[in-house]
């Protein structure tokens, strides 16, 4: 078995693990034992997904230059998935570690991860327009949205007492969008032995889970009695 095949198997196993356990922290008691234990399984699975996708994307770009231009272009999607998965999983954990901050945060590690997500989103979109691939044209908008939101969060003082709470689940749900989309684009067609799936299915995970983030925001703002301005209502 080649090294690429081994990494691919690890990637598939990690992605399947992330897809399987993702829902558990959403429905269990926040901060409880199950939430924390399974949450860490999910985060490390996503780190593995990111690392393996990074390897495969770079391998396809530089070690297999004989591939078609279209196949090379989709290598950028793997790299984008790698950065999106890593940056959002990292952010989801870092906000917990820094939840007591009261000032702007300028750590090069945190700003670097968020900045890289923005840059990789722009690069992937450019490749998409060059090769006229709808997935690469429009899906990285999610990365721009999340990456710019992360930078704004770090570079401004917290506006509400529970700021870290919203960033935690928002980024980890965003992280799951990457995994599910990759499965729809690459995994499902192979499992079902079909050549491709409708372009609309590519965007279905983002279309379903992005509103979930907004729904959670509305729910927890009401639960914590936080007004739209970000202040705790009296």
Comparing CA positions, the residue from 56, 119, 42, 124 lying closest to residue 85 is 42
Residue 214 falls inside a structural domain: yes
Report the SS3 class of residue 152: helix
Residue 89 falls inside a structural domain: yes
Residue 231 falls inside a structural domain: no
What is the pLDDT at residue 4? 87
Q: Dihedral, CA atoms, 39, 43, 44, 45, nearest 10 degrees?
A: 100
Query: 49: which residues sit within 8 A by CB, 6+ positions away?
Result: 11, 14, 15, 18, 81, 82, 85, 178, 179, 182
What is the pLDDT at residue 55? 93
Residue 227: CB atoms within 10 A of its CB come to 11
Residue 140 falls inside a structural domain: yes
What is the pLDDT at residue 139? 85
Query: 120: which residues sit within 8 A by CB, 6+ positions away?
Result: 79, 80, 83, 84, 140, 143
The pTM of this model reads 0.84
What is the pLDDT at residue 227? 66
Residue 43 falls inside a structural domain: yes
Domain count across the chain: 1
Distance between CA atoms of 59 and 56, rounded to whole angstroms?
5
Domain that holds residue 170: 3-223
Residue 87 falls inside a structural domain: yes
Per-10-residue mean pLDDT, the chain, length 234:
89 89 88 92 93 90 76 83 92 94 94 97 94 87 92 93 89 83 68 61 78 82 71 50
Residue 116 falls inside a structural domain: yes
Residue 38 falls inside a structural domain: yes
């Amino acid at each position: 078995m080649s090294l690429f095949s081994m990494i691919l198997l690890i990637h598939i196993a990690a992605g399947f693990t992330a897809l399987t356990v993702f829902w558990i922290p959403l429905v269990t008691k926040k901060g409880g034992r199950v939430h924390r234990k399974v949450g860490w399984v999910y985060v490390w699975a996503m780190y593995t997904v990111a690392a393996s996708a990074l390897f495969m994307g770079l391998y396809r770009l530089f070690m297999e230059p004989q591939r078609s231009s279209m196949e090379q272009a989709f290598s950028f999607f793997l790299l984008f998935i790698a950065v999106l998965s890593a940056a959002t999983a990292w952010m989801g954990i870092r906000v917990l570690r820094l939840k007591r901050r009261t000032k702007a945060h300028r750590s090069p590690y945190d700003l670097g991860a968020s900045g890289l997500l923005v840059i990789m989103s722009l690069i992937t979109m450019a490749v998409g327009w060059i090769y006229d691939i709808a997935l690469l044209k429009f899906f990285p908008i999610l990365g721009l949205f999340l990456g710019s939101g992360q930078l704004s969060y770090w570079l401004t003082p917290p506006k509400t007492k529970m700021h870290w709470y919203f960033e935690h689940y928002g980024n980890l749900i965003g992280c799951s969008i990457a995994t599910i989309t990759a499965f729809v684009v690459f995994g499902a067609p192979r499992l079902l032995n079909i050549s491709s799936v409708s372009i609309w299915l590519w965007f279905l995970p983002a279309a379903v889970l992005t509103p979930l983030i907004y729904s959670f925001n509305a729910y927890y703002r009401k639960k914590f009695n936080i007004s739209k301005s970000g202040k705790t209502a009296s």
